Amino acid sequence: MELRWDDSYNIGVPQIDEQHKRLFAIIDELTIALRQGKGTQIIANTFARLADYTHYHFESEEFIMQRYNYPRIDEHKTMHVEFKRSLAILISRWQDGEMMVNVDTYNTLRDWIREHVTSHTRNADQSLGIFIRLHPDGVNTHRAPEDNDPEA
């Protein structure tokens, strides 16, 4: 099943909302590749893109948090660090062949990634969005630079 984007995921900061949509799309590609039992090389490549895009996206959010002096920056950054670490562990377990692609592991993997991304987007990122929308500088005044977008 596709990871459906719906507008309740929007945080009201267009640059970040676009990145979240892209992140969802990459997760879908990974889901499809795993389900279809695509070649190891293709799956490894999709995992790598997911990791790269996650890094880029977190950097963008952190740049914005800094620019707006977001008071919960440390807490939010810690969640990003933990997420990146967990994703890296998951990918290396998969690479080491501990997680062979059968229906169960594929479901677990897919659910883990989805759960982490959707709950983070709905909670921590949503709080950031509320803060920015209420900020006197306004939304998108301090956009993150887009030059490092690995999917561009």
Question: What is the crossing angle of helices 14-35 and 40-67, to 10°?
Answer: 160
Q: Among 54, 60, 61, 101, which residue interacts with Fe ion (rule: CB under 5 A)?
A: 61
Nearer to Fe ion, 28 or 61 (CB): 61
Which one, of 18, 114, 9, lies nearest residue 57 by Cα?
Answer: 18
Nearer to Fe ion, 5 or 35 (CB): 5
Q: What string of DSSP letters covers 67-107?
A: HTT-TTHHHHHHHHHHHHHHHHHHHHHHHTTSS--SHHHHH
Q: Give the nearest distance from C-beta 42 to Fe ion in angstroms.
A: 26
Binding mask 78-97 for Fe ion (x = CB under 5 A): --------------------
The gap from C-alpha 12 to its chain's centroid, in whole angstroms, comes to 17
Q: Which residue is nearest to Fe ion (CB)?
A: 125
Binding mask 103-142 for Fe ion (x = CB under 5 A): ----------------------x-----------------
Alpha helices for the chain (secondary structure H): 14-35, 40-67, 73-95, 103-122, 124-134
Selected range binding Fe ion among 60-68, 100-108, 131-139, 144-152, rule: CB under 5 A: 60-68
Point out which residues bind Fe ion (CB under 5 A). Answer: 61, 125
